[in-house]
Structure 1
Amino acid sequence: MSNAANQRTLFQTWGAVVPQNKAGPSKKMSKKARLDAGRLQAALPRLQLQDLSSAKVWIYPTNYPIRQYQLKMSEAALFQNTLVCLPTGLGKTFIAAVVMYNFYRWYPSGKIVFMAPTKPLVAQQIEACYKVMGIPQAHMAELTGSTAAKQRQEVWKTKRVFFLTPQVMVNDLSRDTCPGQQVKCVVIDEAHKALGNHAYCQVIRQLGSQTKQFRILALSATPGETQRSSVQSVISNLLISHIELRSEESPDIQAHSHQRSVEKMVVPLGETLSAYQIRYLQVLEKFMSRLVQHRVMGHKDLRSLSKYQLIIAREQFRKNAPPHIKGPQQGMLEGDFALCISLYHGYELLMQMGLRSLFFYVQGVMDGSREMSRARNELQRTPTFMDLYQEMEVMFIKSADDPRNTFVYSHPKLEKLEEVVLQHFKKWTETVSTRVMIFSSFRESVQEIAAMLNRHTPLIRVMTFMGQASAGKGIKGFTQREQLEVVQRFRQGGFNTLVSTCVGEEGLDIGEVDLIVCFDAQKNPTRLVQRMGRTGRKRQGRIVVILAEGREERTYNQSQSNKRSVHKSIISNHGGFSMYVDSPRMLPDGVNPTLHMMHITCGQFDPGESSSRRSKGRRSSAEGRSSLIHPHNLGWCLCDRSPQY
């Protein structure tokens, strides 16, 4: 029989109802066959399989090039609760779409759920999944918290495939709006977030209290944080029974990813920044010495001390304060701990980001926007600090209004960054258009980098990209609609350089980027892996990590060592992790679907079709917002002062 005939026969069976013989299984069948048929028939109501014939095959699309690792991962995820760890840009969403489509076929009355941590990611993934497998948009819904609960209840009744944030899912399960017993497949994007009491964990717990018959597919660029314990937490919280992990070095990955070179550039602090470091440490010494004198902190080299060590020492002090410390004295030391922790945050900013980021942070303390009145009073009585603060104020505020003043490089890393980006554009623009993405963890640093590079227009056309959260008088974040607009304009070539906080690391399809520059090091290797995944998708990519000499360099080296250790332990027989053993069988005994490859034809995606949000009163995508994020408006706003992640 021809392949076309095979497909016609297959399509004709989909949606057909299994014939019901009122007399039960035929007497002409063998005893074993009659028992098998009876068992399968009895299982249909429990499993909501209205069409047994559809479960005889699982469909894999040929409308995209076939990659063996994607095929293998898709098959594994159909039959076990699976954690898929795959570097960014290598098709995690594709695997999710295949798995969702097959459960959509197998369970005509079941619900399929795709969860992503943010609304922009949700909006992106619904379109991406549609373009892979073509599930009818009339059957899909995008649910958000802005949709009225009563309206969401109606959507849960009428739709079959849902894209939403975990917070919405938690709320709807709590209200019995979501029919938990009908959920058959749950896809969890950015699954490494499933730690502690994260909304992902709450969803799985609540679903598990209503039904055991649902499949879980967890997706992540990395399996967890730097410790084995965090990987185990993800496995336990998401009921994972199987892990499919591929790293950059995996042979079956290398055939589908272009080479990515990673360069580590270590920059000395230089004389100027080293002088400011010494002056700032003198301020720290004053307040740290009181903690040491009262024996609630051991005397340590201030350069090697960390904010985390201070937090641990404070917790110990609260649990077991020395007997000689009483009443008011205890309150004073609590205040000293709080002040030192804040000052050490400023110290990290100084060493990693530079003097400008430090200034805008401490300015939030001094102008009252951070509501730290005790810290402000203490610092105002500290001449060493006030001299330093007033000097920075002249440098970054009073001189900012004078256009004759040149740009102040507040950290030597900025000059190295500028050099790397300029060299890249001068090399590439002679032959082909190119794009660059720069990551920095703090909003003030993002603004500073953008202001520096904006001086090189039109060779470098800069746009910033930040998350939603705003605190006090801090730099205003981008709404999720604005985030999507920035991504779209970057992909379309409206500008060629995107300077981003960590919001640009996860999930959102930024498009092809030739150069990634990381302006800071993170203890968590997950973030670097996600940053790296932004390049090397269609042609060779380059990643440059710019590090300050000393602690930042050591942090980077340690995170890379931890990442290799975690990957090695997983690859070696799941590394002794405790896996979930009760991963449910989602098809009746005796039904073992075989692979059927076929071309899937997808129509044109309509962004408004699947959205359950009200369209009334919406503005157009560009209306009223271009002034907020236009690259020409990257000048320093004097009210934008507090650094945020």
Structure 2
Amino acid sequence: MAPADISLKLPPRSYQLEIANSVLQNGNTLVVLPTGLGKTLIAFLLISQKSKEGRCFLLAPTRPLCEQHLKTLLAQTSATAEDVELISGKIQAAKRAELYKKRIIISTPQCIKNDLLAGRLSLDGASLCIFDEAHRAVGNYSYTLVAKAAAAKNALLAGLTASPGGNKKKIQEIVDALLIKNVQILDASDPKISQYVKALDVRYIPVELGKEMLAAKEIADQMAKEQAEKLKGMGFFSRFYSKKPLLELRARILADKGGRRFAALSHHSTLFNLVHILELLETQGVSTCKKYIEKIRTRTQTKASARLLQDYRFAKFEHLLEEAGEHPKLAALVELIKSSPEEKYLVFAQYRNQVEHISQELVAHKIRSRTFMGKKEGFTQEQQKLTIEAFRNGEFDVMVATSIGEEGLDIPLVDTVVFFEPIPSEIRSIQRRGRAGRAKAGKVFVLLTKGTRDEAFYWASKNREKKMKTLVQGMADYGVGSLKAKKEARAPASYEKQQAKTNEAARAQSPRQHETQAPEKQSEPALSKSPARAAIKKQTSLKEFNEFQ
């Protein structure tokens, strides 16, 4: 007897049905939808149709997220335990081959890739493969191999994400990896979904460094400039405001065939350490900065570290750190939480040491707080589950997390998300914000240090996010080939001129202390060079922005 059809227990929203139909009619599709708008239910709609034709695969980056999808699938569709199997590396390889016979497979891409390469899995008869968090489908990530294998068996591919990125090259890489033919994007302002979008109040809390920290910053800035000049004199110039161009510079040095390579690498190492120290001082605080310096001291002594540690100015730098108080962000965070102690908070910080320091500081102020980190920081998945469950049960009120909390885990609803620092990645910024305002109106606070990298990172993320919307909307309107096209119909010159003026005015302002996030009107994609590009570079000091052409 043929298995029963799988159906949703509740009727889908009209936009979910429309997107699912577009995927079924137009082929491999990238779906870009704001967080909390039901991308998973679109996946279930596709499964309900394609499971009639063959096996369906739903892939997600982490096992906890796969477990969440399994729980939701069984709760919101007519699928039963007989229809679906959650397969992970925890199951013995010999047993997995039999389990792959189920109608619906939920798994991580790493597990599927390993079993494909080992011959334990064949995608013969597969009708659908869904890639959750599809922005990961770049480089050597397992999604790329699985997508090619599934496409070779004529399976329909669908990628789901809230944030494919603001870099044209990366978006094109995702499109190529998942063999995308069709793009479906809805912005929060679109009337199709605006009634379902929960209000998100985004506020910026500016702080200023104390005089000791400013004096220390000036010393480290001067030392970094000197190292950059040394490298420039050797023929290796790079901006050094952030670490990304420095990593690219290191690759150039390693590729150099001349005799200056080893000396250049030594000076590069000194510069890299100084830039990281500056970032920690400006955006994190004294405690985390001092721990990093101690880490340098405990490493095997090199010319690069000796050049830094034995400089008389660095001794003065460290003396100033001893005299300085903690970063003003900590006091601002404590004040914020104490102003609304009844709310649940999710605080994001970039570095493990800072996560631990923030949580300790909150506990010292009688605020119930715990840390939440990933396996790299020593947290097992069992510890993660226990922490999430304790948070859900109200055993503490503030979860302080590294990037592990941004995606891929079933973290309970929170009232307020706090960025301890702005981050230049538009993908991570969107993921962080998406943790608030899912089922009800939410708030987001961004702690921002004036006159530091915080401001540059803020602008980098903001502009990349705008770029992302333009690029993806362009693919939706003009086809996925628009990214590669040499010439496309451009927007009217009058429109571009007005847009340039608008963008210039927006960038002339500092981040506002209070900014309520309102849906932006979706504009016609401009497929030519923006006249404001030079101004963007000047404002952010980052060469991160790619135009259509």
1:65-80 to 2 correspondences below 5 Å: 66-79=12-25, 80=27
Residue 244 of structure 2 is aligned to residue 308 of structure 1: yes
Corresponding residue of 2:466: 564
The amino acid that maps onto 2:23 is A
Is residue 81–residue 239 contact of structure 1 (8 Å, CA) maintained in 2?
yes
Corresponding residue of 2:82: 138
Aligned mates of 2:325, 2:34 — CA distance in 1: 34
Aligned partner (choices 249, 270, 279) of residue 348 of structure 1: 279
Is residue 213–residue 320 contact of structure 2 (8 Å, CA) maintained in 1?
no
Is residue 112–residue 183 contact of structure 1 (8 Å, CA) maintained in 2?
yes
Corresponding residue of 2:331: 415
Q: Which string of whole-angstrom CA distances, capped at 9 and with x for unpartnered residues, describes residues 438-490 of structure 1?
A: 11111111111111111232xx3112111111xxxxxx421122212222221
Corresponding residue of 1:218: 159
Aligned mates of 1:258, 1:578 — CA distance in 2: 30
For structure 2, which runs of at least 5 residues remain unmatched after alignment? 483-549
Residue 203 of structure 2 is aligned to residue 267 of structure 1: no
Aligned partner (choices 336, 340, 365) of residue 456 of structure 1: 365
Aligned mates of 2:429, 2:41 — CA distance in 1: 23
Give the 3 Å change call, closer, same or farther, for CA 414–83 of structure 1 in structure 2: same
The amino acid that maps onto 1:86 is L
Give TM-score, length-normalised by structure 2: 0.81
Aligned residues: 480
The amino acid that maps onto 1:260 is L
Give the 3 Å change call, closer, same or farther, for CA 253–195 of structure 1 in structure 2: same
The amino acid that maps onto 1:143 is I
The amino acid that maps onto 1:308 is K
User: SS of the counterpart of 1:263?
Assistant: strand
User: SS of the counterpart of 2:140?
Assistant: coil
Is residue 270–residue 305 contact of structure 2 (8 Å, CA) maintained in 1?
no
Give the 3 Å change call, closer, same or farther, for CA 65–269 of structure 1 in structure 2: farther
Is residue 266–residue 553 contact of structure 1 (8 Å, CA) maintained in 2?
no
Residue 441 of structure 2 is aligned to residue 501 of structure 1: no
Q: Displacement, 1:380?
A: 3.8
Is residue 265–residue 546 contact of structure 1 (8 Å, CA) maintained in 2?
yes
Is residue 261–residue 542 contact of structure 1 (8 Å, CA) maintained in 2?
yes
Residue 40 of structure 2 is aligned to residue 93 of structure 1: yes
Aligned mates of 2:48, 2:156 — CA distance in 1: 13
* C-alpha RMSD of matched pairs (Å): 2.6
Corresponding residue of 1:229: 169
Is residue 186–residue 214 contact of structure 1 (8 Å, CA) maintained in 2?
yes
User: SS of the counterpart of 2:340?
Assistant: helix
Aligned mates of 1:295, 1:570 — CA distance in 2: 38
Q: Displacement, 1:133?
A: 0.8
| RCO higher in structure (CA 8 A, sep ≥6) | 1
Is residue 61–residue 408 contact of structure 2 (8 Å, CA) maintained in 1?
no
Deviates more, 1:439-448 or 1:261-270: 261-270
Residue 99 of structure 2 is aligned to residue 155 of structure 1: yes
Larger Rg: 1
Give the 3 Å change call, closer, same or farther, for CA 505–135 of structure 1 in structure 2: same
Corresponding residue of 1:485: 386
1:459-608 to 2 correspondences below 5 Å: 460-469=367-376, 476-550=377-451, 551-572=453-474, 574=476, 576=478, 578=480
- Aligned identity (percent) is 28
Q: Displacement, 1:193?
A: 0.8
Residue 57 of structure 2 is aligned to residue 113 of structure 1: yes
For structure 1, which runs of at least 5 residues remain unmatched after alignment? 1-13, 17-50, 396-407, 470-475, 581-645
Q: Displacement, 1:139?
A: 2.9
Give the 3 Å change call, closer, same or farther, for CA 519–577 of structure 1 in structure 2: farther
The amino acid that maps onto 1:376 is S
Aligned mates of 2:463, 2:397 — CA distance in 1: 33
Residue 312 of structure 2 is aligned to residue 383 of structure 1: yes
Aligned mates of 1:87, 1:285 — CA distance in 2: 41
Corresponding residue of 1:22: none
